[in-house]
Structure 1
């Protein structure tokens, strides 16, 4: 008799969930608490598409293409901003997001984002609400600290990433034991130093750390403070050496955003990567008028990791990418 499994080249033991059932129950409980948190603050839950023909091109994010030229969304940001432009008021979403080639102890190509937007709020006010939400799930001592992007380079590596020469940055990398591929520019060296040396040290002193003052070149869809020096109005939250949230004072100028997308695509093309389609409906919504607002995306899977003290994302997912 032919086995039922003879046509399926998989390990039969691989069917069980990666996370245990107690962890999945804790996940459900965290989701319920998140919804109460926003309900009590008058923020409406929304749902938006997972597939879209357009993207918001970024230098280091690769959307997954499928379904006749559409892409799985890397974030619900564009669609949520279309709702904001239509007058939705404050909104949040628990959404699946997808990013190609992101797999590891803290990454899965399919993951869950908690994203929300506050019309009329400043970035500083939103940082306070982010801290309130995270405290609901994770205990830490004292209020979150704040440091600038350049400040953590100076404190941890003794270099100024914007003013010092590339040779000085290369020296700092050697002293930190970080190997640099040949031909890296300033941005590439800083990216590697951030991921290998700086980020693992952020928010590891018994509390949380907000990182602010990013260079204008890292604005993505954030406003830029003209300075001098010009800096992006954005923040990242780190807890236990892990990035948990990324927020902006949102840029709503359609022409400015279109120019940024063009510049990203030009840079991608120069490094041999494909140009990504932009989203005309999103740009039309920005042209119609995005209300002044602040927004943030928070990794819900990572928040659960911190809540339960789990070191690996696989331990909080029912079925990670390689078991789906």
Structure 2
């Protein structure tokens, strides 16, 4: 019961902070005709069957409120946030549950760097949070692996994976190599394991190949990078933020590339959100957005590595 009370208190504090900041809470559809096409995320599919007439429609439970929120931003909503359940297939056990609570918010006129300040402010208001470092993805790779992730070619990355992780891992995509090396050699060092103080490290300037829904920019060394960041607390990824991409044609191109990658890997091919692309074409204001796992934050606050400890009913008991 203690975890339930802590969860209720955390949700109240989060809403109180965002309310003071003038950010409006919105609700978005959990059920949609489109889905994320991210190669690393699988959606739950279901079917809508009209009673008495009409044809059935394939629908998907949302993995994030992002696409609908961007449609609201394009319609002139101003700063908004969503706090609610999202669903991801295949993710259960340890730090993952098929349904979990996500906080996502967008700030008009901010870039990814300013949004880091906003996140630090929110976390400081809801828990004993201390920001200890901001550093680039490249700095961390050089520090822990002696490797420049922006200039290393695919063969070099594959060789490092073979030498330092597993020689059987052959033919991985560039982003897969980078993710594997980062998660194994860098991520565990980002923040201390001290549950009394949540030590946060912001990592920015991800390689351009890992741009997802972010703008591209050039860093001080002249390398093209994604205008995005991740926040790690005590060695755990907690939040993922972007200076949001506004180019509808570029977004459409990235969606189609992701679909192609899913097809090549033999994964289900989901329809991307054309309404969101149309909203970008209509004109979304310059903004930055971030998604944060509330269950994971509560796990860090309570010092547990098991998500079942902070849920009233985890998947095994649902």
1:81-120 to structure 2, matched below 5 A, reads 81-120=70-109
- Residue 197 of structure 1: how far off its partner (Å): 2.5
Whole-Å separation in 1 of the counterparts to 2:129 and 2:70: 32
After TM superposition, the structure 1 stretch with the greater mean CA deviation from structure 2, 24-33 or 147-156, is 147-156
Equivalent residue, structure 2, for 1:30: 10
1:170-181 to structure 2, matched below 5 A, reads 170-173=158-161, 176-178=164-166, 180-181=168-169
Whole-Å separation in 1 of the counterparts to 2:284 and 2:254: 17
- Classify 1:161/1:124 alpha carbon distance in 2 versus 1 (closer, same or farther; 3 Å): closer
Equivalent residue, structure 2, for 1:310: 304
- Classify 1:154/1:74 alpha carbon distance in 2 versus 1 (closer, same or farther; 3 Å): same
- Residue 96 of structure 1: how far off its partner (Å): 0.9
Is this contact kept in 2: 1:173–1:180, CA < 8 A? no
- Residue 46 of structure 1: how far off its partner (Å): 0.7
- Residue 171 of structure 1: how far off its partner (Å): 5.0
1:126-275 to structure 2, matched below 5 A, reads 126-141=115-130, 143-166=131-154, 168-173=156-161, 176-178=164-166, 180-204=168-192, 207-226=199-218, 228-275=222-269
- Classify 1:180/1:319 alpha carbon distance in 2 versus 1 (closer, same or farther; 3 Å): farther
Whole-Å separation in 2 of the counterparts to 1:134 and 1:193: 28
Whole-Å separation in 2 of the counterparts to 1:248 and 1:177: 30
Equivalent residue, structure 2, for 1:17: none
- Classify 1:114/1:180 alpha carbon distance in 2 versus 1 (closer, same or farther; 3 Å): farther
Equivalent of 2:19, from 39, 53, 57?
39
Structure 1 unmatched ranges of 5 or more: 1-20
- Classify 1:238/1:180 alpha carbon distance in 2 versus 1 (closer, same or farther; 3 Å): farther
Equivalent residue, structure 1, for 2:295: 301
Whole-Å separation in 1 of the counterparts to 2:246 and 2:254: 12
Whole-Å separation in 2 of the counterparts to 1:60 and 1:112: 19
Is this contact kept in 2: 1:134–1:303, CA < 8 A? no
Equivalent of 1:53, from 33, 39, 44?
33
Q: Deviations over 1:187-225 (max 9, x none)?
A: 222222122232222223872110101111111111111
- Classify 1:171/1:286 alpha carbon distance in 2 versus 1 (closer, same or farther; 3 Å): closer
- Residue 232 of structure 1: how far off its partner (Å): 0.6
Equivalent residue of 2:114, what SS? Answer: helix
- Classify 1:177/1:183 alpha carbon distance in 2 versus 1 (closer, same or farther; 3 Å): closer
Whole-Å separation in 2 of the counterparts to 1:161 and 1:125: 25
The structure with the greater share of residues assigned to strand is: 2
Structure 2 unmatched ranges of 5 or more: 48-56
Corresponding residue pairs, total? 303
Whole-Å separation in 2 of the counterparts to 1:45 and 1:297: 14
Q: Deviations over 1:62-119 (max 9, x none)?
A: 1111124111111000011111111111111102111111123111111110000011
- Classify 1:262/1:150 alpha carbon distance in 2 versus 1 (closer, same or farther; 3 Å): same
Whole-Å separation in 2 of the counterparts to 1:204 and 1:171: 30
If the length of structure 1 is used for normalisation, what is the TM-score?
A: 0.88
Is this contact kept in 1: 2:150–2:223, CA < 8 A? no
Is this contact kept in 2: 1:203–1:240, CA < 8 A? yes
Whole-Å separation in 2 of the counterparts to 1:38 and 1:149: 29
If the length of structure 2 is used for normalisation, what is the TM-score?
A: 0.90
Q: Deviations over 1:15-35 (max 9, x none)?
A: xxxxxx111011001001111
- Classify 1:251/1:145 alpha carbon distance in 2 versus 1 (closer, same or farther; 3 Å): same
Equivalent residue of 2:18, what SS? Answer: helix
